[in-house]
Amino acid sequence: MTAFIFPGQGSQKVGMGTELAEASVHAHEVFEEVNEALKQDLFALMKEGPESELTMTANAQPAIMANSMATVRVLEKEFGLALSDQADCVAGHSLGEYSALCAAGAFSLTDTAKLLRLRGIAMQDAVPIGVGAMAALLGADIEKASALADAAAEGQVCEVANDNDPTQVVISGHAEAIDRAIEMAKDHGIKRGIKLPVSAPFHCSLMQPAALRMKNALEATSPAAFTVPIFANVTAGRVTDPAEEKSLLVDQITGRVRWRESVLAMREGGLERFVELGGKVLGPMVGRIATDATTVSLVTMEDLENFAKENG
């Protein structure tokens, strides 16, 4: 059994999608459609940069989704491999949950691009620049990371944002609390803490204003039925009901990305193979979580051709 998985923020890089767009008119159409939806030449930014602009949350989120969806579109149109035939479920890391829903038919490409643009802006606006921060804790499991976050908070917000895999947990909150956590990391048996180059403290309670904006946006653009179940970030559970998923997408803004638990839940549900679309970030994480799972990353036309040969 196969899960199709979709990467999140941090997987963007200048040049993304270029090779695919040159090789396939169907990929190019995806980027054109996203440009049209956002009234911006986002694909030019993806191709040429500058990196500082591509990394901005409001650009990075729709760009990563567009890259993933171009990969899905090429699989379907060039190779005749529909997601609903190839995948038994989908999942995505943070914004990747929107890519997963788009791929499974819950949102149109245009609506997904607009939702992610709004999500990026709302998350950026929720906390003034410099007030919040995030750090990756290397060599930390969830227990050590939670204990460190509690110790470093000192009345401020310091919370576990992403439980990525058994060796990496990300914390988020007030900048001073994150700095304290980095200083205290070794005392908590954690190899080290590294501040992340992000412009806002995602997936913590400081994001509440963004959650309210997304709640309103998702009332106006609710997910439709999806072709395969999705494993939701905030519960690490299997979801088939669009109404339930809509409320989980709101909770996801302030809630923890339970990626490690999601992979374990998928593995326990009989999923043996994890296919990452448009990135090479989640595959290595899956390998560290479920060492007996098979992982495949589909980024280039060659990747897609090889996958089609084996699965056509």
pLDDT tens, position by position, 170-181: 999 999 999 999
CB 36 within 8 A of CB 86: no
Task: Give the residue-averaged pLDDT of 265-269.
Answer: 98
Question: Tokens in use for 170?
Answer: 């990300």
**CA dist., res. 203 & res. 250, Å (int):** 11
Please tell me the distance from the alpha carbon of residue 65 to that of residue 48, in angstroms, as a whole number.
18
Predicted local distance difference test score (pLDDT) of residue 51: 94
pLDDT at 129: 87
Closest to 230 in 3D by CA, of 218, 239, 242: 239
Segment 61-88, tens digit of pLDDT: 999 999 999 999 999 999 999 999 999 9
3-state secondary structure of 79: coil
pLDDT of 309 > 90? The answer is yes
What is the pLDDT, as a whole number, of residue 197? 83
Please give the pLDDT value at position 245.
98
Angstrom distance (rounded) from CA 155 to CA 168: 25
Q: Please check the confidence at residue 10 and state whether its pLDDT lies above 90.
A: no
State the catalytic residue, choosing from 99, 203, 262, 297: 203
Which residues have C-beta within 8 Å of that of residue 290, sequence separation ≥ 6? 263, 264, 267
Q: What is the CATH number of domain 2-126+206-311?
A: 3.40.366.10
For the segment 196-224, the average pLDDT, to the nearest whole number, is: 96
Residue range 12-26: mean pLDDT, rounded: 97
Backbone torsion region of residue 38, taken as left when φ is above 0, otherwise alpha when ψ lies between -120 and 50, otherwise beta:
alpha
> Domain 132-198 adopts which CATH fold?
Alpha-Beta Plaits (3.30.70)
The Cβ of residue 303 has, within 10 Å, a number of other Cβ atoms equal to 18
Q: Which of 24, 94, 99, 297 is catalytic?
A: 94
Residues 6+ apart with CB under 8 A from 240: 226, 229, 230
Cis peptide before 128 (omega within 30 of 0): no
**Is residue 117 very low, low, confident or very high in pLDDT (cuts 50, 70, 90)?**
very high
* pTM of the predicted model over 0.95: yes
- Checking if the pLDDT of 163 tops 90, the result is yes
C-alpha 9/C-alpha 93 separation (Å) is 8
Q: What is the pLDDT of residues 231-247, one digit of tens each?
A: 999 999 999 999 999 99
Residue 136: both structure tokens together: 């990756």
Sign of the four-CA dihedral 22, 283, 240, 307:
positive
Would residue 203 show up in a list of annotated catalytic residues for this protein?
yes
Domain ranges across the chain: 2-126+206-311, 132-198
pLDDT of residue 24 exceeding 90, the answer is: yes
- Mean model confidence pLDDT for the chain: 97
What is the mean pLDDT of the segment spanning 7-14? 93
pLDDT 10s digits, 269-305: 999 999 999 999 999 999 999 999 999 999 999 999 9
- Separation of alpha carbons 147 and 131, rounded Å: 22
What letter does residue 249 receive in the DSSP assignment? Answer: H
Give the whole-angstrom CA distance, residue 267 versus residue 270: 5
Neighbours of 302 (CB within 10 A): 11
Q: Label the pairing between strands 294-298 and 89-92.
A: unpaired
How large is the average pLDDT for residues 222-235?
98
**Annotation marks residue 26 as catalytic:** no
Q: Which two tokens stand for residue 39?
A: 């009234």
Task: Give the pLDDT band of residue 169 (cuts 50, 70, 90).
Answer: very high
Residues of the chain with pLDDT > 70, as a percent, come to 100
Residues with Cβ < 8 Å from 284, sequence gap 6 or more?
295
The pLDDT value recorded for residue 199 is 81
Distances (CA, A) of 202 to 173, 205, 254, 282: 8, 9, 7, 18
